[in-house]
Structure 1
């Protein structure tokens, strides 16, 4: 009886302890590791602040129209002194007593019936040569003296200044008296008013230089290495006051050398703009 009671107690203890032991599983239960979800956002490029360069349109300077030195404004017409029938008449001042000067003009732009200006300027042709100088003025070259007993184009002017061999003093006086003489210059019937603003006579060396380099006439007559009669200053001024007209012709020298000296007469041209 005692043994039966002891057996019951042992069984009860075993059952109780087994109920409290952890239940082992064939598979080990591992913790579930949840990987954190990383949301990858597309990184937007940070906008770069750029300076907008506004380029101003380049305004090209309008080139000044090229001036044709042979053209003079004569009101509603253009006087083209490069070619045509030329005449010059003074009606006021000391040169009013001088006969009208006339010639047929040619130029490097238009040599007319001649091969070149030198051929056109041969004695007896009645030709005068018009040429632009280095400063925008026009130089008209004429013969003076006689050819076969016929007075040449500029002979009336030459005779006024020196007649048949006046002294240097007399020539200087005549050059001074000529200043301020007013007249009318015509080419093919188109006319402009002109006034004498300077007159000079250069020596033989300068005369030769002008003949060889007519476009340098103002530089030659103002070069003090040459002897002159008359005032050089207005010719220096003419280098800046463009668009005058100069007459140049020979003067007689020793032993009746008809081309020893050279006269240069500067004319101011009263140009008239075209009527609007």
Structure 2
């Protein structure tokens, strides 16, 4: 059987008791290491689990899954996922391959906390979130803005938008590849400030008032950890905010923000007076 086990958001202790029991008994243990990362290193995981862990990068999961699934119809394999197993479509695809395998491989999923639920720590109601979008690193020649249209749909309904920020782990150096060498770039993790800046840049081009300088937003970092950070303010304020180490995410607030949400979120505001003024003028259920 293939066990797809959620690890939660912070460190080695967030795994469930059931998950830990399976990890310690499994024939092989893989750690998916590219859709998200834990806040501790591999050695710390292995020490706590009492097991060696095989890192599974994008290529191994998407192109070499036969290696992961080898023997799984006869023995137990543990596939570890940061957060919740099905927060990323990659893991749905892996489960489908198990169904299609000859003979079929049984799967079992052990859920855990993910950013999709942990973001409730901001005080914003999970019932009031619309489509989740992703923000990638802009380059000089590539600045995709398709996220803007989905955010606009959420804004039209007065809903909050969770923005997941890009991470680059084991990304090939394209210049080196052109020279026939395989070299990987250092890991990079987008910050709330970078995300807010890119949103403002696209707004400058689109001019639809979807994510302007005075749009209220909440930046979060390392949710679920002992040093988690939550900062609320305008996108302009968040564009210069320093939330420290990764991982970061951002929420663009919806215009139907309830008074209870406002009262909670304002406690994280860079400038409470400004936050209150903008909420009363432009939000307060006005969508």
Same fold (TM > 0.5): no
Q: Which has the higher helix share?
A: 2
With structure 2 as the length reference, what TM-score do the two structures score?
A: 0.22
Q: Greater share of strand residues, 1 or 2?
A: 1
Name the TM-score, length of structure 1 as normaliser. Answer: 0.23
